Amino acid sequence: MQQNKQTVKNNNHKILRRGVLASVLMVGFGFALVPLYDVICDITGLNGKTGVLAAENVTEQNIDHTVVVQFDGTVNSDLPWSFKPEQFSMEVVPGKLYHTEYVALNQSKADVTGQAIPSVAPAKASIYFSKTECFCFTEQLLTAGEKKQMPVTFIVSPDIPKDIDVLTLSYTFFNKNRMTAEQQVAGNASHEEIEI
């Protein structure tokens, strides 16, 4: 009987070790889902983020249908800028490179750095939409009152399904200055006092 108890005890501890290991692995799995999600989004266009294409990889092709591409600029209310596309929409032929510009203006009396985040609607169109040049790849610094043209060069893939005849490229500009750790904490603490 004593022997038996020892075996049971050993087996219990074996299960305990495996259980703990499994839980730790599952925490790792949880974190692994973050890059995995990005990969899935890249492949399926799940969240509407756009792809990037090096200019030399673009081969222009002629396609018989066109797609309307709309441009939209959103400014997060944390950022004292105005930001608009030069033209609202464009009819484009898939497989050809196009160029357009946005205009950003810092309306405040301080220098501010912004970062634009692109998004395409419908999300399923995003995998067929690539940019070869975009201001969203880097942070943008505008001095007080500065106005800046921001160019975008893009191509719609010839593989785009025929039932997508309109897509919107939208940029949201966020205030990068608000992104430092300290300010982030303060920014999220809605109960902290506004010093007035």
**Tokens matching residue 15:** 């299960």
Least Å distance, CB 75 to another protein, is 5
Q: Cβ closer to another protein: 132 or 168?
A: 168
Q: Cβ closer to another protein: 120 or 134?
A: 120
**Tokens matching residue 108:** 């405040």
Least Å distance, CB 58 to another protein, is 25
Q: Cβ closer to another protein: 61 or 87?
A: 87
Q: Cβ closer to another protein: 122 or 151?
A: 122
Q: Which of 173, 69, 66 is closest to 121 using CA atoms? A: 69
Least Å distance, CB 56 to another protein, is 25
Least Å distance, CB 156 to another protein, is 16
Strand partners, 174: 115
**Tokens matching residue 87:** 């033209």
Least Å distance, CB 59 to another protein, is 27
Other Cβ atoms closer than 10 A to 190: 5
In this structure, are residues 84 and 107 in contact, taking their beta carbons and an 8 Å threshold? no
Q: Which amino acid is at 77?
A: S
Q: Which of 85, 77, 151, 88 is closest to 114 using CA atoms? A: 77
Longest dimension (CA), the chain: 86
Q: Cβ closer to another protein: 18 or 60?
A: 18
Other Cβ atoms closer than 10 A to 45: 20
Rg (CA), the chain: 25
